[in-house]
Amino acid sequence: MTDPDTMRARTAALNLHGLLAHWGEVANQSWIAPLLDWEEQERARRSLERRLGTAHIGKFKPLCDFDWSWPKRCDREAIEALMALDFLRDASNVVIVGPNGGGKSTIAQNIAHQALIAGHNVLFTSAGQLFGDLAALDSDSALRRRLRHYASPQLLVIDEVGYLSYSNRHADLMFELISRRYQNKSTLVTTNRAFAEWREVFPNAACVVSMVDRLIHHAEIIAIDAESYRLKEAQERTEQRARRRGSAKP
């Protein structure tokens, strides 16, 4: 039988004030335990549904289907350890570095989804979307509100840093965001550029060194060396279609 004090604490946590007001009358009723179970399960379901909707992770290949034999270099153990989400408890960052199509975004999406399942708030965005959103704001108050939006999730994923070049203003915004989250919330960044090349991503920006310093302090850095997985899949699809056409001939 469930401890009455535990049952009452669960009821209070669910803010079921009407039930609490009549607790002396209903505490020993057999329907209390299933009622609390239903309420907790439904709230958990709705919370996950809401967080999935606002995370913007998108469709992705599950890590169980990831072809680990394809990359020339990829620390599978380190990536699987990240799926345990210890870095979130430490408010540490993660940086995944590798060439285009090497699987960086897929790994980031899997980690983000795992964090959601574990109950964390997550936001997934590309660097282009992030900078475009912030730079479009023309008032300080609107910018502060939007920065709070990006600074608040327990995990912020910034995908595809390095695919475009950005202005000094974009660099300042990135620095401000990283600084707000520094040692407080975890940020996961995927990039196709080594840190030494980030001056090409943010040309002439004075804050690049400080930005990188804050980002990689206590960070887990995963390096991937692989040919484009998307190109590999496209070639396989082409070969499959060719075989089907060949087998269809009389």
Please report whether residue 128 resides in a domain.
Answer: yes
Mean pLDDT for the chain overall: 90
Please report whether residue 182 resides in a domain.
Answer: yes
Please report whether residue 236 resides in a domain.
Answer: no
* CATH code at position 83: 3.40.50.300
One domain, residues 108 and 199: yes
User: How far apart are the C-alpha atoms of 102 and 97, rounded to whole Å?
Assistant: 9
Structural domain range at position 86: 63-231
What is the model's pLDDT at position 71? 87
DSSP character for 165?
-
More confident residue, 114 or 229: 114
The domain tally of the chain equals 2
What is the model's pLDDT at position 213? 96
More confident residue, 92 or 243: 92
One domain, residues 137 and 209: yes
Q: What letters, b where the CB count within 10 A reaches 16 and e where it falls short, cover 116-131?
A: beeebbbbbbbbeebb
Residue 203 neighbours by CB distance under 10 Å: 12
Task: Give the model confidence (pLDDT) of 7-45 as tens digits.
Answer: 899 899 999 999 999 998 888 888 988 999 988 888 888
One domain, residues 129 and 78: yes
Report the interhelical angle of 208-216 vs 168-181 (nearest 10°): 30
One domain, residues 95 and 205: yes
Task: Give the model confidence (pLDDT) of 152-188 as tens digits.
Answer: 999 999 999 999 889 999 999 999 999 999 999 999 9
What is the model's pLDDT at position 48? 79
Global confidence as pTM? 0.80
Mean pLDDT lowest among 88-92, 123-127, 225-229? 225-229
One domain, residues 127 and 215: yes
What is the model's pLDDT at position 239? 74
